Amino acid sequence: MNEVKFSLVFRDMWQSAGKYQPRVDQLVKIAPVIIRMGCFDRVETNGGGFEQVNLLYGENPNKSVREWTKPFHEAGIQTHMLDRALNGLRMSPCPKDVRRLFYKVKKKQGTDITRIFCGLNDPRNVIPSIQYAHEGGMIAQASLCITHSPIHTVEYYVELAKKFIDAGADEICLKDMAGIGRPVSLGKITEGIKAYKKDIVIQYHSHAGPGFNMASILEVAKAGCDYIDTGMSPLSWGTGHADIIAVQEMLKDAGFKVKEIDMEAYMEARTQIQEMYDDFLGYYIPALNHINNSLLIKPGLPGGMMGSLMTDLEDNLKSLNKWKVKNNQPELTTDQLLVKLFDEVAYVWPKVGYPCLVTPFSQYVKNLALMNVMQMEKGKARWSMIADNIWDMILGKSGQLPGAVAPELVEMAKEQGREFEDSDPQSHYPDKLDEFRAEMNENGWELGEDDEELFELAMHPEQYRAYKSGKAKADFETDLAERKAKKNAPAGGELPKAIKVSVNGAVYEVNISYGSDAPAATSAPAAAPAGEGTDLLAPLEGKFYLVKDNSETPKKVGDQVVEGDVLGYIEAMKTFNAIRADKAGVITAIIPASGDSVEEDDVIMKIA
């Protein structure tokens, strides 16, 4: 039997469990212990949501990546990361010059391999990233996003792999992000790829939740897979990954050559992960994410999204039930909302052309389904709220959808004056680095080693600005304090009404509210005095922004608007939902500051 090597997907372990990642001091502490385990040839250190969540709780992700990858390099262990092709490290498409800088920065910071994926499996998005990765000196691992549909056959995936190999991909990843790939089919895909190029390195990534995971690992290993992604306790199984101990023992029994595990080091790493969990990360990990659930087979939602989904669902349920109480309707439980959501995802997915349910398209389909559920629960029509970036997916601006869009959505697009596209997706997103460089110079911000700070602003503009201002840290500390207070308060005891948080050496007192007592807590300045006119209400809960990128001019008090004008956005569930004027007039007040948290039906603006 061949040798099978292991990778620890440390970043994805946390992302699949909850909302946040460990701090850099915690990462540096655990790295030597992972190395001592002796069983890993690769470790996933960053990518995807890793850098965004660093910014959200006020930590510099560039410092984190450099310090975290260093000990693995010194030990001869390869590091790899996840990247979203056209989208880079974010939910929305990137300019070409930002994509090219991305790979140069990550290689300089110590990342060896980039796992490039596109949820549409569109070669026009993946192949340029293969080239840019090579320019930056990285190993380009091209992914096949695995799902199960009438379109996504064994032949479909083998032909796709051939295109990536012919375009220069160094390795292929079978990215079974929802764990719904069928084991025998995955084995056949692996065989087909190896038949085309015997020495191509294949790495298999899957999630445990739906239940196929261990059988799939065995099938791909028998077919010649070289690397298997694994997790470890206490973050294995559930919405996460198969545990290294179980995978190693299974493959050893099947006759494969595998490395042994230093169990003393394993237990030490396990203890440290539990300490991180208890410190703050566990406050963002719902209990349901520890449980395997075959209900996930039907909607096919990815494990990496389930962590944040279950956390965000608490807020969606609270918002919906608040409306129901106000309208004398029975409240829903979490399970009831979850089943409605899963059913709606299964309904929506074919209608929007079978995109693979992986970031960002898993979020788009889930968000669309959840918006449908929320609107229908309030007696409104399905499809009554579709965010612009979801429309971009439907219209083909993100790449070619595998299947056809439903006629009802085609008709809706025509009614709204939206046009379908078949041009290269990159053509819609012109270069922007010069604009971001000018912004940094204007603010007196350092571009950073190897332009890494410039890259961070260009990749995550709103999060980076909030990080630099200290608002991100203040918001995070406030939210964490509220969660701790709720969890640790004695039964019947009074919850604290205020906390003190420290941001860049300055101490602020922040008021906290619970449930329906008052609007969501925020560390932002007090609202501006209300002017005259009609209230414009928030259509959903989230963070309010005047613009979604620096190509837009923010609205201000005194601006004349006409019906249908975009006045701002609410970022909810990682998408920007446009707020439009429902009448013509003059803006007389803008109530929240850009970046403030708002609840559904909060007054956003006044128009007279």
Question: Rounded mean pLDDT of 387-404?
Answer: 92
For the segment 299-349, what is each residue's pLDDT rounded down to a tens digit? 777 766 665 666 667 778 888 888 899 889 999 998 898 889 889 999 999
| Together in a domain, 188 and 216 | yes
Assess whether pLDDT exceeds 80 at residue 413: yes
Say what percent of the chain tops pLDDT 70. 90
Domain stop point among 233, 262, 286: 286
What is the reported pLDDT for 16?
Answer: 86
Per-residue pLDDT tens over the stretch 255-313? 999 999 999 999 999 999 999 999 888 888 877 777 777 777 777 777 666 656 666 67
Residue 601 predicted with pLDDT over 70: yes
Quote the mean pLDDT of the chain. 88
Q: What pLDDT does residue 543 have?
A: 86
Whether residue 131 sits in one domain with residue 17: yes
241 shares its domain with 308: no
Question: When comparing pLDDT for 433 and 601, which is higher?
Answer: 433
- Three-class SS string for 438-465? HHHHHHCCCCCHHHHHHHHHHHCHHHHH
Residues 116 and 177 both lie in one domain: yes
- 335 & 260 share domain: no
**363 and 419 share a domain?**
yes
- For residue 511, pLDDT over 70 is answered with no
84: tokens are 């979203």
Is residue 134 a part of any domain in this protein?
Answer: yes
Residue 447 lies inside a defined structural domain of this protein? no
The reported pLDDT for the residue numbered 506 is 60
In a domain, 492, yes or no: no
φ/ψ (deg, to 5) at 39: -105, -5
Q: What pLDDT, on a 0 to 100 scale, did the predictor assign at position 314?
A: 77
Q: Which residues of 567-580 are buried (b: 16+ CB within 10 A; e: fewer)?
A: bbbbbbbbbbbbbe
CATH of the domain at 577: 2.40.50.100
203/301 same-domain check: no
Each residue's pLDDT tens digit, 90-101: 888 999 999 999
pLDDT on residue 271? 96
Looking at the fold, whether 279 and 298 belong to one and the same domain comes out as no
pLDDT at 572 over 50: yes
Residue 522 has pLDDT above 50, yes or no: no
Q: Among 413, 428, 443, identify where a domain stops.
A: 428
Whether residue 28 is contained in a domain is answered as: yes
Segment 502-515 mean pLDDT: 57
Q: Give backbone dihedrals phi and psi of 306, rounded to 5 degrees, phi first.
A: -65, -30
| Domain-located, residue 465 | no
pLDDT of 529 reads: 44
Lowest mean pLDDT among 158-172, 177-191, 214-228, 535-549: 535-549
Going from the C-alpha of 439 to that of each of 10, 92, 303, 447, 593, the distances in angstroms are: 34, 21, 37, 10, 20
Percent of the chain with pLDDT strictly greater than 90:
58
pLDDT band at 495 (very low <50, low <70, confident <90, very high): low
The answer on pLDDT for 462 being more than 90 is no
Q: Work out the average pLDDT over 510-537.
A: 54
CB neighbour burial string for 408-443, b if at least 16 within 10 angstroms, e if fewer: ebeebbeeeebeebeeebbeebeebbeebeebbeee
Whether 173 is covered by a domain: the verdict is yes
Q: Does the pLDDT of residue 490 top 70, yes or no? A: no
Query: Can you tell me which residue has the tokens 């895909």?
Result: 189
pLDDT in the model for residue 311:
66
* Residue 11, SS3 per DSSP: helix
Claim to verify: residue 244 and residue 342 sit in the same structural domain: no
Q: Is 527 within the bounds of a domain?
A: no
Instruction: Look at the chain and report how many structural domains it folds into.
Output: 3
Segment (H or E) for 436: helix 433-443
Asked which of 132-141, 374-383, 437-446 is least confident by mean pLDDT, the reply is: 374-383
pTM of the model: 0.81
The model's pLDDT over 180-218, given as tens digits with 9 standing for 90+, comes to 999 999 999 999 999 999 999 999 999 998 999 999 999
Taking 80 as the threshold, does the pLDDT of residue 526 lie above it? Answer: no
Domain stop point among 221, 254, 286? 286
How far is 391 from 387, CA to CA, in rounded Å? 6
Q: pLDDT band for position 524 (50/70/90)?
A: very low
Judgement on whether residues 380 and 399 belong to the same structural domain of the protein? yes
In a domain, 456, yes or no: no
Q: Residue 182: what are its φ and ψ, rounded to 5°? A: -80, 135
**What's the whole-number mean pLDDT along residues 167-192?**
97
Task: Check pLDDT > 60 for residue 504.
Answer: no
Q: Which residues constitute the domain of residue 374?
A: 294-428
Could you give the C-alpha distances from 16 to 142, 274, 448, in angstroms and in order?
21, 16, 31
